[in-house]
Amino acid sequence: MRKAFLIISLFLVIGLSGLLFKGYKFAHQLWIKPNLTKSQLYTLKPGERLIDVLSQLTVLNKTQQISLKFWFRIHPKLARIKAGTYELPAQSSFADIAAILRSGKVYQYHLTLVEGETLSQWWQRLSNSPGLIPPQKSPEEIAAQLKAPSTNLEGLLLPETYYYTHGTKAIAVIRRAYHSMEQISSQLWENRDKDLPLTSRYQLIILASLIQKETGINSEMPKVASVFVNRLHKGMRLQTDPTVIYGLGDAYNGHITRADLKAKNAYNTYVIHGLPPTPIAMPGKVALKAAAHPEQTHYYYFVADGTGGHHFSQTLKQHNRAVRKYILNR
């Protein structure tokens, strides 16, 4: 009787061991098998369990759920995960997903703030970027909070690609952009050409914004800067179209008329002397450097040459000839 009991017990142990081995093997294969058909972002909430995450990412039948719970009992450390937003690549296995969620290396969103764009354009980006909490205050309130040199943030944020994590407040990105501009413009102002007709770092940024709007060719920016600087030295009006467009605001319809050139507003450099009161766009590093170190020329005029660049002239007579050639086709 005792012998029979031992034999039966042995068969039971062997059978149970076989079942456990098969269960372990099934769970392991389920664990390492690629499951995601495409990459995706997943936001893991505090307190969320790994089994619940995997159930949301893929369709698990009852057997698979039991197998995974069995797997986590054997390997409890595998189920320890950290809240955050993660990027899960295509063909990720459950093992890959768990490793990513344990790593704490959350997904970095990026926001590119483009040079030459205006504050209103940037505000749209800051208000509609995924994972970013939109600004809760007006630009004027934020300018006061940052102790900016103007109540207008135009030109005071550095164009750059900024990285952030899910749930970051837009004000954090704005602060970084503001302090980056402050640092770069301060360095350039300290090391500027000493004969510049500018009285402050803020004026340097204003000039850089005009350069930025006049040309998208980096190599041309120091020459454009020289025209503006030469005109300022001579007391000539700057007469730059982008200031007219900025001054018109929403009234600009894509074309500048003679009436627009005569419009009396603080930004129209066909009417006012000197620089406009604020920048008219967000200048990039090259434009800022050009404003601080313009090329030494005798140019006072330039006109678009039809290739994306400009033709530069020393005299009004030369300029009028260039206008006839490049604009009027005469």
What is the tens place of the pLDDT at every residue in 136-145?
999 999 999 9
**Residues 76 and 195 reside in one and the same domain:** no
Q: What is the pLDDT of residue 18?
A: 46
Specify the number of domains making up the chain: 2
**Residues 64 and 199 reside in one and the same domain:** no
pLDDT interval class at 114 (50, 70, 90): very high
- pLDDT above 90 covers what percent of the chain? 72
Last residue of a domain, one of 103, 124, 145: 103
Q: What is the pLDDT of residue 24?
A: 66
pTM score, two decimals? Answer: 0.84
Q: What is the pLDDT of residue 275?
A: 98
pLDDT interval class at 328 (50, 70, 90): confident
Last residue of a domain, one of 103, 123, 145: 103
d(CA 202, CA 242): 18
Question: Is residue 83 a part of any domain in this protein?
Answer: yes
Question: Is residue 76 a part of any domain in this protein?
Answer: yes
Residue range 288-308: mean pLDDT, rounded: 95
Q: Can you say whether the dihedral through the CA atoms of 163, 168, 169, 172 is positive or negative? A: negative
pLDDT score of 106 more than 70:
yes
pLDDT score of 109 more than 90:
yes
**Residues 235 and 279 reside in one and the same domain:** yes
Domain of 82, CATH number, reads 3.30.1490
CA 216 to centroid of chain Cα atoms = 19
Question: Is residue 321 a part of any domain in this protein?
Answer: no
**Residues 218 and 142 reside in one and the same domain:** yes
- 3-state secondary structure at position 284: coil
**Residues 133 and 204 reside in one and the same domain:** yes
**Residues 283 and 257 reside in one and the same domain:** yes
Question: Is residue 319 a part of any domain in this protein?
Answer: no
**Residues 141 and 221 reside in one and the same domain:** yes
Question: Is residue 311 a part of any domain in this protein?
Answer: no
**Residues 87 and 205 reside in one and the same domain:** no
**Residues 73 and 166 reside in one and the same domain:** no
Last residue of a domain, one of 77, 103, 129: 103
**Residues 137 and 51 reside in one and the same domain:** no
pLDDT score of 39 more than 80:
yes
**Residues 211 and 88 reside in one and the same domain:** no
pLDDT score of 12 more than 60:
no
159-176: b or e for each residue (b if 16 or more CB lie within 10 Å)? bbebebebebebbebbeb
Question: Is residue 320 a part of any domain in this protein?
Answer: no
pLDDT score of 234 more than 80:
yes
Mean pLDDT of the chain: 90
d(CA 46, CA 81): 9
**Residues 126 and 274 reside in one and the same domain:** yes
pLDDT digits (tens, 9 = 90+) for 143-189: 999 999 999 999 999 999 999 999 999 999 999 999 999 999 999 99
d(CA 330, CA 322): 10
Q: What's the domain range around 253?
A: 112-297
pLDDT digits (tens, 9 = 90+) for 265-286: 999 999 999 999 999 999 999 9
Q: Token digits for 242?
A: 């982008």
Question: Is residue 327 a part of any domain in this protein?
Answer: no
Question: Is residue 302 a part of any domain in this protein?
Answer: no
- Highest-confidence range of 3-7, 13-17, 58-62, 245-249, by mean pLDDT? 245-249
Contacts of 99 (CB under 8 A, 6+ apart): none
